[in-house]
Chain A
Amino acid sequence: MSDPTRLRLTLNGHPLDVVCPPERILLDLLREDLNLTGTKRGCDLGTCGCCTVLVDRRPVLSCLTLALLAGGREVTTIEGVTPASGLSPLQKAFVDLGATQCGFCTPGFIMTAGALLRENPHPSRGEIASAVAGNLCRCTGYSKILDAIEAASRVA
């Protein structure tokens, strides 16, 4: 029988093969073991959406996911959607339109919004607001975030 603590997955396009205890949460694996600190720890209870990553291209709360249960899947973090040469159109829209202030919630919003735009390239403002309803921002009041996602949808 294979080692039940052996975790193999694809992380940001690269194969990952590590030993991982069952109680390890995906968020902790990313931040503490792999030093991918772009994914933020906010509430740690699934309320705020700061820890959102993509698992098989769908947004998931990494703070409520056991790392071992992501085995065999494709995990994408904020580091994986940021081009080496600069920023993605969505990230650029956040910067240009002032959708980020302290920036702590931004990676989560980018992951959720990116997944929305891939599935629905031209969402209405209402559809955008519904899609990001699980991501909290304490600074911007959300208008600028919705503006930025709308702007990025026009670029796409």
Chain B
Amino acid sequence: MHLDPFELHRPESVDETLELARRYAGSFDYLAGGTDLLPNYKMHLNLRPHLIALEDVGELRGHSLDRIGAMTRLADLERDPEFLRSYPAIAEAVREVATPLVRASGTLGGNLFLETRCFFFNQSYFWRQSLGFCMKADGDQCHVVPQKEKCYATFSGDLAPALMVLDAEAEIRGPGGARRVPIGELYDGAGDGIRRTRLAPGELLVAVHLPASARRRRSTYRKLRVRPSFDFPELGVAAAGRWEGDRLEELSLAAGGLETYPRRFDALTSPLLGAPLTDTKIEEVASKLRGLVRPVHNTFLAPDYRKKMAGVFTRRALAGIRPGATA
């Protein structure tokens, strides 16, 4: 499949990138690793006349324990044993993204801003045309939940839930300067489902920052997918906690792959602080989370099954971060 023509821009600094973003507002995409964008372009999904390649922007590269540049390749994180040891949830999430070949090009920023996915969206132009298209590309209706207001395509990034439970923050630069927000606030749960980020026009993710407290937490990421290599998550649950003896001091839980955005469940976890995390409490949280999530029928596995498994994976994740747990 050949790509349709576009103009390629190759800025070398964040300032130059922001200037290009301003100049081509509304008519460009950022190109990071290309492993999500280019397949979508090959399928003629929401093409733009300008691509701003971030490859040459040095400020977006490199990582340490505290900061991961947005253009850091997932494979580079995978090759850093100290980083992997420090953040088990990120390690498990990174290793489960697609295949080693995709991770060789795929980037942190790209994974955080993956295009949401749907059985009716990720198809060829010809296939989509036969159904009159959908509201996420070229059409005005939704084939999953028939109505014309909201798109239900699923957010399928693995890194977001793992970073969310570690209280990571996104460093954003834009026309208004620099700002930092918790990773969860990058996503818009209330919108129409199509524009799924809260970045203002012209803003760019520069890096993700990890607080020192994240290294004191036990954490895990559990992913359900059909084939153990390549597939996007049918769901992914991340959990992180810190104990004093057997008393829980901090706990966070997040899930992705189930809805249009990844979300954290602080209301479920905050009542558990200050006491041991017993099997009964884990079961209660798992059951409540299962009741809260609303998967729809737009991925390979049926929504009822994914809902049930959201409970099972939550139980496994929480049990997996208790002191003394082996897996």
Please give, as numbers and ranges, the residues of chain A lying within 8 Å of B309 by CB-CB distance.
Answer: none
| Of B2, B4, B42, B105, the contact of A65 (CB 8 Å cutoff) | B105
Please give, as numbers and ranges, the residues of chain A lying within 8 Å of B55 by CB-CB distance.
Answer: 69
Interface 9-residue window, one of B33-41, B283-291, B299-307: B33-41
Please give, as numbers and ranges, the residues of chain A lying within 8 Å of B126 by CB-CB distance.
Answer: none
Please give, as numbers and ranges, the residues of chain B lying within 8 Å of A64 by CB-CB distance.
Answer: 34-35, 38-39, 105
B100 to A131, Cβ gap below 8 A? yes
| Of A4, A44, A47, A130, the contact of B100 (CB 8 Å cutoff) | A130
Any B CB within 8 A of the CB of A75: no
Q: Which of chain B's residues 21-67 have a Cβ closer than 8 Å to chain A?
A: 31, 34-35, 38-39, 42, 51, 53, 55
* Identity of the chain B residue whose Cβ is nearest the Cβ of A28 in the assembled complex: B2
B39 to A21, Cβ gap below 8 A? no
Any A CB within 8 A of the CB of B99: yes
Interface 9-residue window, one of A55-63, A76-84, A85-93: A55-63
Please give, as numbers and ranges, the residues of chain A lying within 8 Å of B42 by CB-CB distance.
Answer: 44-45
- How many Å lie between the Cα of A112 and that of B100 in the bound state? 10
- How many Å lie between the Cα of A133 and that of B100 in the bound state? 7
Q: Which of chain B's residues 1-26 have a Cβ closer than 8 Å to chain A?
A: 1-8, 10
| Residue of B3, B39, B55, B101 with highest tally of chain A CB at under 10 A | B101
30 contacts between A and B (CB under 8 A): A4-B8, A21-B5, A22-B5, A22-B6, A23-B2, A23-B4, A23-B5, A23-B8, A24-B3, A46-B38, A46-B101, A49-B99, A49-B101, A52-B101, A58-B75, A58-B104, A59-B101, A59-B104, A60-B104, A61-B35, A61-B101, A61-B102, A64-B38, A64-B105, A68-B8, A69-B55, A131-B100, A133-B100, A134-B99, A134-B229
